[in-house]
Amino acid sequence: MTTAASMLSALDRLGIMGAEVPIPVWEAMLLLALLTLCLLFRYSRPGLVIAYVFTYRWGWRFCQQGALTVWNTFAIVYVLFGTAVLALVAATMLFGWGSTRRGE
């Protein structure tokens, strides 16, 4: 069995393959409006954070609806990794790590 096939079978066992995530229209419109403003005013970093927060929230909603059969383990890992990514992004934005501009 190939790696891709084994991944797909693992996702199928978890109940992710056929799951549907209902996203409220107002949230999708708010995301679209905020990202459009960020693109118009060239605020790429805040736009990425906004997209991440919305996506993270929608993933959390997906998990709460009982779409996963291994909810406890997944919830712990989801929260830990989500918080770690958000902390790294915040630190990078605050301290300017990874900036391509030198001398500013």
Q: Among all chains, which residue has been given the structure tokens 């009982």?
A: 66
Average pLDDT over residues 21-29: 85
Whether the CA torsion 52, 55, 60, 63 is positive or negative: it is negative
* pLDDT value for 95: 83
Decide if 39 contacts 47 (C-beta within 8 A). yes
Segment 6-19, tens digit of pLDDT: 766 766 666 666 66
Our measurement of the distance from residue 84's CA atom to the centroid of its chain's CA atoms, rounded to an integer in Å, reads 12
Kindly report whether the global pTM for this prediction surpasses the value 0.85. no
